Chain A
Amino acid sequence: MLLGKVFTKPDKWKVFFKRYIDEVYKLGYDSIAIVFTISIFIGAVISIQTQKNITSPFIPSYTIGMLTRETILLEFSSTIMALILAGKVGSSISSEIGTMRVTEQIDALEIMGVNSANFLILPKITALVTFIPVLVVISMVTGLVGGYLVGVFTDMFSPAKYIYGLQAYFQEFYIWYSIIKSLFFAFIISTVASFYGYSVKGGATEVGKASTDAVVVSSVSILLLDVLLTKILL
């Protein structure tokens, strides 16, 4: 029912586009730093762990690059990043909308004749869904660079072999697979968080609870959807 109100024609397209740009900045651009930081460290850790687990001399050392790539592309850059964004972006969305609800700002929009669900939620959904591929690609690149840097600054494996591993048996579809999954996850994060924020009744405690519930529900939904999409797409 809420989505029915959200997915209607905006009252003013000009206002919608301005809000869309603002939301891209708040939800997407502001998440680049955390995506970059986490990805580079996780990429490094994956390459170290892979190197430590390869004990057989029959396994070539370029496997480190290959396995780091597969882990980053298949799961980390989409699913794990989505779980992190569910915490950062999801709680931000639900607490912002929830606070607007309890301070009657949503009522004020309704009294003015503005479709508050469409005005507040649609720019957030469109912004996150359209910007998340950028975050996924940033995560992929920085994650792989993280692994490479381990090779450069330690003598655990050769950077050249790592680069060779990144290219070995490469399947381009894995990148698309990750991006497709992330679009669904972005939709889940933004809609679930918006729903919990918009439905808040009460005060500050309820806003906090809505924020927590939004993160928990969207995280579980992401994991369930991950299984489903993996079964369908791979």
Chain B
Amino acid sequence: MIEVRNIIKSFEGKEILHDISTTFYAGKTNLIIGQSGSGKTVLMKSIVGLLRPDSGEILYDGRDFLKYNQHELKDLRAEIGMLFQGSALFDSMTVLENVMFPLLMFTKQSLAERKKRAEFCLERVNLKGADNLLPAELSGGMQKRAAIARAIALNPKYLFCDEPNSGIDPKTSLVIDKLINDITHEYNITTIINTHDMNSVMGIGENIIFLNKGHLSWAGTKDDIFDSKDDAFNEFVFASDMMKEVKMYINNTK
């Protein structure tokens, strides 16, 4: 579980996150949604430590990592996996080497053990047979799956996904969503996904927070969406004609 308490973050005097407090639960896919520029990437980067908030607390199962020294921070990072928007696979390494990399850096496993674990992770994300390919030789969806395999190589307790469906087709997006959701439940990971993909929201939104201009405007689950009274949230979720029709249909059949 990750608790965020009263996080404030500014850039050059301009406040981007205004006193955000929320909880992300273990074994659930927690979604941060919002329009571009709403502060969701800043919030995720603050939680994961790529940005330092001006004030507030971020508790990883009760441990406030903002008070950690470099050594403690390094230990905590071994419990974190992250899937980046562009996959961020190391392009000089093969897929297998990418997945083996965290094991090489943070475990004392032998080459055979590392290889076995990496192959297991690649099999888990249905990417068998791509071991010796370079990232540039993979499709967008395959790159995401390889990045997920690398993120779970060290059995993380916390998994962060920044726009996991950006740049991939809707069908592959569903596969990626299902994979992240399955892994979250299977290993009881606290997964936080930063997205504005409504298919993800409706499909795997077990705990959703909506950011509007740096404020936490709405929180709930995918089942609460159609009952929301928050105007900004409704404008965001039901922006497309299709979603408007879906809402109308659901409300009429209630």
Contact = CB atoms under 8 A, between A and B. Distances in A.
A and B held together in a complex:
yes
Interface stretch (B19-27, B77-85, B210-218): B77-85
A11 B105 CA distance: 7
Contact of B78 (A105, A108, A113): A113
Contacts of B86: 103-104
Contacts of A114: 105
B112 interface: no
B242 interface: no
Contacts of B48: 111
Given A112-B77, A113-B73, A113-B77, A107 B106 contact: no
Interface residues of A, number: 15
B190 to A, nearest CB: 15
A107 B85 CA distance: 11
B239 interface: no
12 contacts: A11-B105, A15-B105, A99-B91, A100-B90, A103-B91, A107-B84, A111-B80, A112-B78, A112-B102, A112-B106, A113-B106, A114-B105
Interface of B: 48-50, 73-78, 80, 82, 84-86, 88-91, 101-102, 104-106, 160
A99 B88 CA distance: 11
A103 B90 CA distance: 9
B50 A107 contact: yes
Main SS of the interface on chain B?
Answer: mixed
Contacts of B74: 113
A100 B82 CA distance: 16
Given A111-B48, A112-B77, A113-B74, A104 B84 contact: yes
A226 B202 CA distance: 65
Contacts of B75: 113
A30 interface: no
B217 to A, nearest CB: 27
A197 B41 CA distance: 23
Nearest to B101: A112
A15 B102 CA distance: 12
Contacts of A112: 77-78, 80, 101-102, 105-106
B142 to A, nearest CB: 16
Q: Which of B50, B75, B76 gathers the greatest number of chain A CB atoms within 10 Å?
A: B50
Nearest to A110: B50
Interface string A189-215: 000000000000000000000000000
A108 B91 CA distance: 12
A112 B147 CA distance: 13
A108 to B, nearest CB: 4
A107 B77 contact: no
B104 A108 contact: no
Nearest to B75: A113
A15 B90 CA distance: 15
Given A111-B48, A113-B78, A12 B104 contact: yes
B113 to A, nearest CB: 15
Contacts of A11: 105
Contacts of A108: 82, 84, 88, 90
A12 B105 contact: yes
Contacts of A105: 88-91
A112 B48 CA distance: 10
Contacts of B104: 12, 15
A133 B77 CA distance: 40
B10 to A, nearest CB: 18
B198 to A, nearest CB: 24
A111 B105 contact: no
B49 to A, nearest CB: 8
Contacts of B101: 112
Interface string A103-128: 11101101111100000000000000
Contact of B82 (A15, A103, A111): A111
A207 to B, nearest CB: 13
